[in-house]
Chain A
């Protein structure tokens, strides 16, 4: 009995949907195209958002880490005194020390800087106290506390840049807003086009639908094939967009290597694969969702 039910459901729901989808592929093409474009852009915008979020987290961490640059001729007593004074402040979490050698080694790991380092015979990087401040808002106060100390380099005392973090946050906020608005617009277009293609499918099969309704086929049996057709459209669009999204990511990871990691932190092969799978799933959901929307409007029993 179960085998018969599964076979019949498969034939009328999935087989019928696939047959009709293939037959109506010409009518479905615009929906397929717009949905693929939407999903591809969604995938890329999503990845950009993910990278931007990682960047914001890194920036927030960096913004609360104040580098206090020391004079090359500062004595160890002067440095220890400054370090003790900063450590005693209740707004400070921790204070580390980076020697000139460590600063040089760190700089040599950053893209572009090794060439700069090689161009000079001396070590141009100062030693520093690395002060981790509890609240980003208190970094300015700590900067004011230390910048005139005798151990501190008067030419370039600290890494403090007033308002830098807020500027980054602002840029990210407006970028996210613009991305969301763009995706909403594209989503509306894709939903409308898909819903219209399903309406055309309903119209093309109105006799079959009428007969199914009149002989007493259950609603899910009448509507199911159209939902599956929509899911097929969304699935194919999602698959294409997912593959392209992944390929774009892999190409950027491979080509950009070190510099890319700086621009889009957190984007890895695993993230690209997950993004592709998500795009595929969203495609199926979008296709079946717009079908349901169209069915509710055009196939009332």
Chain B
């Protein structure tokens, strides 16, 4: 990546678009310190992701919820356990009861309060993605990043997930979504960051439907 300067405000829902190989996933990985920048700075909620020691990275990641295209749920755990697991492995002081209560709250927030006992294989793709979202936000991180969260979903379910992300942003969490879904980006009219060949070529503010020339290349 090169020449990328941007900042995200609390409660913003921002779409990150661009053709395949433009650097969308790389940018998300830089934010979450899955990779370390060779130069430049990445600040997340006051923490220097670019210079943190490996032993401190966990502290950063507790402030960043992550949602993947392929959900990444643990198949041996139920929906409730998947969400509670994320809570307890980051903070051993959380009791089983508290973890269960908070996980149930998160599941209810994503509309799956009644499916807590279901295993991932018993759920549809959209439901699994909702659980992944619940897991990402259960510890109330200030930032949520989502890498192609609707990539495996049908149109209707994709809209449901997008609405969910919008709701999360409305509660003050910054949400950054990397996507190829032109329809969603156009209709949501939120801030759009366009990456091409590792460069930020356009930073379009919310409320405008800009050009999406990159879509022709993808």
Contacts and interface: CB of A to CB of B under 8 A. Distances in A.
Interface of A: 1, 4-5, 7-9, 12, 207-208, 210-219, 221, 300-301
A261 B89 CA distance: 56
Interface in B92-128: 92-96
B58 A207 contact: no
B62 interface: yes
B72 A215 contact: no
A9 B58 CA distance: 17
A1 B135 CA distance: 24
Given A4-B92, A8-B92, A221-B89, A216 B72 contact: no
Contacts of B61: 213-216
A214 B54 contact: no
Interface of B: 32, 34, 54-55, 57-64, 66, 72, 74, 85-86, 88-90, 92-96, 135, 139
B153 to A, nearest CB: 20
29 contacts: A4-B92, A4-B95, A7-B96, A8-B88, A8-B93, A9-B92, A12-B88, A12-B92, A207-B74, A208-B74, A210-B72, A211-B74, A213-B58, A214-B34, A214-B72, A215-B61, A215-B86, A215-B135, A216-B58, A216-B61, A216-B62, A216-B63, A216-B64, A217-B90, A219-B55, A221-B89, A221-B92, A301-B54, A301-B57
Nearest to A214: B66
Contacts of B63: 216
**Chain A interface secondary structure, helix, strand, loop or mixed?**
helix
B72 A211 contact: yes
A83 B8 CA distance: 101
Contacts of A208: 74
A293 to B, nearest CB: 17
Contacts of A217: 58, 89-90
Question: 5 tightest A-B contacts by CB?
Answer: A216-B61, A216-B62, A217-B89, A8-B92, A215-B86
Of B61, B63, B64, B135, most A-chain CB atoms within 10 Å: B61
Nearest to A10: B92
